[in-house]
Amino acid sequence: MIAVLEVTLRISENNTGLGSVPDDKYRHLLWTSLPAVIVSFVAVFFSSIDFNTRALSPYAQMIKGGSFKTSVNANLLDKTTPVVLFEAAVTRNIGVIGTTTAFLIASLLSIFTASVFSTVDVPVVDTVQLLSQDFFASSQFLPANESARGNFNTGQNSTVVPSLILNANMSFPAFTYQDMAFPSLSVAGLQDGLDVSGDIKFTTTIPATRARMDCKLIPDNLINVNLTLEASIDFGGAVNPLEISIIDDPANASITISTARGANGVSPKSPIKTFIDSNAFFGAADYVPYKNASSNTNQTAHYVYVWGRLSNADTNSTTLDSVSALTCNEVLRDVDVEVTFLGSSLLIDETQPPKPIESTDRPSSVAMEEAWNYNNMVNVSTPHLLDQFFTSLVQSQFAIPLEDLGLDDIVTRGAVADAIVAQHGIIRAQVTSTNLRRPTTNSTAEEDVSPEDVSGGSLGDATQFAYAARLESTGVGARRRVVQDLVTTRILQSLLAAMVLFTIIGWIAFPKPNILPRPPTSIASVAALLVDGNVFGFLGRGAEWQTADEVQAVFKDGLHVTAGFKLGWDKLRKRRREETLATWGMNGSVQKEKVFSISAMRTGGWGGGENVGLGLQARVGYGHRRFVRDWGWRQ
């Protein structure tokens, strides 16, 4: 059975099941009921073995000479399995322990066979093409032949979506996920009869565009801080300005933050606060591109982030507790990503997040959109000196603890830097998705054209924007298959192996009488074995009216047990032999007969030396154990 289970398991795994089941049939119920019937027969077989072992156990003990408790007084048939195991363990009856344990395990088989086979809906698997409906432009300017559209999103509008994602727990829009933006796709080449509105998913590998930030935490000695109290800059400046600049920064980056409440009409760089926490945290971010020395154009997208904590921020005695700074250069990169889409609308399955294949990371030709900045994000009021970016950093669904902004140990600074990079990646992905999508020739958009760049070169060839996808559908067309469960199979195999092991142990440990001429469970057979022996000779007249305790007392004499019992061939008692011969008309000179019987032998108490060579009137006690046969002393 172990081998059969293994073979059927391999077949089930290799063929996605053992067979198909029509929806209107009950044939699959046989796979549940038939194994239960088989293991029931197995359990009955092991029950028979266990029954016979328990029944023969007292006789097996008497073959080698057994005590009163382990032989004639033993009763292992009318007791529950746990009690039998306990008594067998006490008497060191390994044979009964083995077979009873095997039967106990066999009774568990039916519990697991009910779940070894089951029916599942095996999805339809097919290969389809996902056609790209757009791509990301290599220029942030409108293509030459699309200038009439005139309704592209502005940079300010492109920060609305990331603001909602960060601060309103909005889900990622279609074909974007975290810091990755994907081309829009549509399904082509579905097989006939497949229901795309049902439970269907597509798994494919497509390119994504994402930001890469090369960042550097600025050492304290390169951060220049200037806090001016009781001062204000009325035009575009700050009230009680905190100016933070980075020494040797290629963009000569400098950020100024208002650290006090401003008067009416003041328009500082950071929003005016009507209330400031005494120990306010501050944080500001800015985009400061710098030019290459050999060019007059902006060559590097450069971002600066500063954060820290103030004391007495709501007074004119403000002091600086801590300050940290981070500078980053941004580039766009392309990477291939394994993505699972759900349904005909191709929504990204967030239970199986997209997995970038990092080995495919490469430079991107997608344009770097610059017509936006962090100040276009939604402003959420706080009692701290945080701009829009840092407000989202400590309040969004991906927020870090606010207290981290005031800690200046290297580990916490690194955690804040990682959070900054992750949040910027989310914003950049949405800006790219909103501003830089261009339709391909395969698009169903109103402007079904082939985009061109500013020089008139073609950018959209639909045949180059198709991706093979693996389709799985459990809707229309899916098959019901009988499958074998791996875990349940291993449990059944373990139980069967344990049954075989314990049965072998019981077989090896159980004493094996050469022959037992009478059924061991028959009352007449037991009576015949006793009649042919000397047990009845120990009993007085009227023994049939005595209680069981009174009969047992005959074999006890002060000590716990003073008689042992033996099963085997013994000489026929003289009186009975003479009576038998007289009945047949023969004299007593006939050769003595032997009979197969149960005999009692006193091995302790007064008169206990009769059968152990110590004399008829000897009293045998525990001190004589090594001089007499070990019948009864263990019990």
Q: What is the mean pLDDT of each run of 10 residues along the chain (635 residues)?
A: 84 76 66 80 86 80 71 76 83 83 86 78 77 77 47 60 88 92 83 59 91 92 84 55 86 80 41 69 89 62 91 82 92 92 86 92 83 79 88 91 91 94 93 83 47 49 69 67 83 88 85 64 74 71 74 63 69 58 53 69 52 49 50 43
Q: 573 — phi, psi (to 5°)?
A: -60, 145
Provide the residue ranges of all domains of the chain, joining segments of one domain with +: 2-121+480-509, 214-339+371-433, 523-624
Query: What integer pLDDT is reported at residue 340 of this predicted model?
Result: 92
Query: What integer pLDDT is reported at residue 467 of this predicted model?
Result: 83
Query: What integer pLDDT is reported at residue 583 of this predicted model?
Result: 58
Nearest to 215 by CA among 432, 426, 425, 429: 425
pTM for the structure as a whole: 0.61
Query: What integer pLDDT is reported at residue 290 of this predicted model?
Result: 80
Q: 491 — phi, psi (to 5°)?
A: -65, -45
Measured CA to CA, the distance from residue 287 to residue 329 in angstroms comes to: 10
Quote the longest CA-to-CA distance of the chain: 147
- Angle 105-77-520 (CA atoms, 0-180°, nearest 5)? 115
Nearest to 531 by CA among 588, 573, 584, 582: 573
Distance from the first to the final alpha carbon of the chain: 42
Query: What integer pLDDT is reported at residue 446 of this predicted model?
Result: 42
**451, 132 Cβ separation under 8 angstroms:** no
Question: What region does 384 belong to: left with phi over 0, alpha with psi -120 to 50, or beta?
Answer: beta
